A = this chain, B = another copy of it.
Amino acid sequence: MNRKEQKLQTRAAIMDAAFSLLSDERSLSSISLREVAREAGIAPTSFYRHFKDMDDLGLTLVDEGGLALRQLMRQARLRIASGGDVIKVSIDTFMEFVFANSNVFRLLLRERSGTSTAFREAVSREIQHFIAELTDYICRHTKLPLERANLQAEAMVKLVFSTGAEAIDLPPAQQKQLSERLIKQLRFIAIGAASFKK
């Protein structure tokens, strides 16, 4: 089946092209189908052999991006299992990702509040995954009731994303500082969740 193989390769080329066109001043919605095709080295109309339209492509990218990020965070949790502070290791990992794959992170960030309902839902789903995994982790490592663990996880994930968004276009000097602030703030949440009454 050499034919299918070739097709997958072109499909990958299209996705790569789209990713590489993303930057701090280009979002998916400002990139045209023709640009992607040009970058991928195919005719504009050939695009349709692989995706229904740009939204279709975008959804695929969001899914892929979210998956990559979550896989990384799972690895981080493994690192923690073999000793180390949960919060610190997680944040370090996260920030590493943000800078190593800033286009992916930007994609998620932008589409989270973007103009396409489908995109927003896709990103929202990704974030829910994060929250679910973190909730699970908290439950297993503390004695908090499920509901409280979930509240804590949600607050943490939102704060982390928010800070990641801010950090992404900052010089490394200030990144570090921001990370440290974030870590303290996450501890606020952890402490508060643990000693919350009523």
What residues of chain A have their CB less than 8 Å away from a CB belonging to chain B?
A: 24-27, 29-30, 106, 109-110, 112-117, 120, 124, 151-152, 154-155, 158-159, 161-163, 165-166, 169, 181, 184-185, 187-193, 195-196
A11, chain B: closest CB distance, angstroms:
26
| Residues of chain B within 8 A of A114, CB atoms compared | 27, 110
Contact B159 A155 (CB under 8 A): yes
A187→B115 CA distance, assembly (Å):
32
A196→B195 CA distance, assembly (Å):
11
A189→B195 CA distance, assembly (Å):
11
From known contacts A151-B184, A151-B188, A155-B185, infer whether A165 and B196 are also in contact, taking CB-CB under 8 Å.
no
| Residues of chain B within 8 A of A159, CB atoms compared | 155, 158-159, 162
A148, chain B: closest CB distance, angstroms:
8
| Residues of chain B within 8 A of A115, CB atoms compared | 24-27, 30
Contact B110 A25 (CB under 8 A): no
A114→B166 CA distance, assembly (Å):
12
A55→B192 CA distance, assembly (Å):
42
A106→B192 CA distance, assembly (Å):
30
Contact A106 B113 (CB under 8 A): yes
Contact B25 A117 (CB under 8 A): yes
Contact of A113 among B110, B163, B189, B190 (CB under 8 A): B110
| Residues of chain B within 8 A of A106, CB atoms compared | 113
From known contacts A124-B166, A166-B124, infer whether A196 and B181 are also in contact, taking CB-CB under 8 Å.
no
Contact B191 A195 (CB under 8 A): yes
Considering the complex of A and B, which 5 residue pairs feature the smallest CB-CB distances, nearest first? A188-B192, A192-B192, A191-B192, A158-B162, A155-B185
A168, chain B: closest CB distance, angstroms:
9
| Residues of chain B within 8 A of A27, CB atoms compared | 29, 114-115
A193→B151 CA distance, assembly (Å):
17
